[in-house]
Structure 1
Amino acid sequence: MTIFQRPTLFHAAILAAMALPAAAQTPAAQSDFPTEDRVRFVLLCMEANGRSPENLRRCSCKIDEIGALISYDDYVAGETVLRMQQVPGERAAMYRGAGMLSATVDKLRSADAEAELVCF
């Protein structure tokens, strides 16, 4: 029996969320964030906060709020800087010490914090 033959509560929650009519979506859900990146964010968020229907709603809300606050390009730039700051060695040193990149990270962190307050 495969995973697709054994639906779980998690799968049911995802299917229910996908069944929402387009008219019921918020303006944030219609932003320029690609679906693949939204799903990746929600899955990682749920991995960190627990796999439950409630966290599916909260994590989906959070990426929608972030999308309403900043552009996708700003999101990608901020995430890239944050990830590169975690890489050890000289190749990533410019990301750790560059003051000009702090505005990019600050914009993402601010949107993330605001979304956290709204959704969690």
Structure 2
Amino acid sequence: METFTARFAAIAKTPGATAFAAALLYAFPASSAEDYPTTAVVDYVYGCMKANGETRRALERCSCSIDVIESILPYDQYEAASAFKSLGLQTGERGVLFRQSAPAKLAITDLKRAQAEAEIRCF
């Protein structure tokens, strides 16, 4: 399957189209494998707004917050930390592995650091 970038790279080779293709590539950069899925971004912003008020200002701050987190943590690390946090809410022995194992602690610590940085930059 031909990507957006590949199609416009081909267009850029035609005379007079270079500036047009460059402008389109700048306006619509290719997404990388590390981009956060839209559902993850929306889920984060929705939860953040519920915790911080459902105002336009909260929307802007929460959107900024997930952007900062995305710039610090690759999506797979964010996803793992979120899973550990969620599964760690289970009571008793079921949740112990997700709360006390070394990988869980490391992932959650990294997420907390990214969230702290987002808090400083956005709120």
User: After superposition, where does 1:1-120 map in structure 2 within 5 Å?
Assistant: 32-120=35-123
Decide which structure has the larger Cα Rg and report it: 2
Unaligned runs of 5+ in 2: 1-25, 29-33
Structure 1 segments of 4 or more deviating over 6 A? none
- Look up the SS of the partner of 2:94 in the other structure: coil
CA distance in 2 between partners of 1:56 and 1:101 (Å): 29
Q: By how many angstroms is 1:104 displaced? A: 1.0
**Alignment size in residue pairs:** 95
How high is the TM-score relative to the length of structure 2? 0.70
Unaligned runs of 5+ in 1: 1-22, 26-30
How high is the TM-score relative to the length of structure 1? 0.71
- Note the aligned Cα RMSD (angstroms): 2.2
- Look up the SS of the partner of 2:35 in the other structure: coil
Q: By how many angstroms is 1:24 displaced? A: 8.1
CA distance in 2 between partners of 1:59 and 1:24 (Å): 24
Identity over aligned pairs, percent: 38
Q: By how many angstroms is 1:42 displaced? A: 0.6
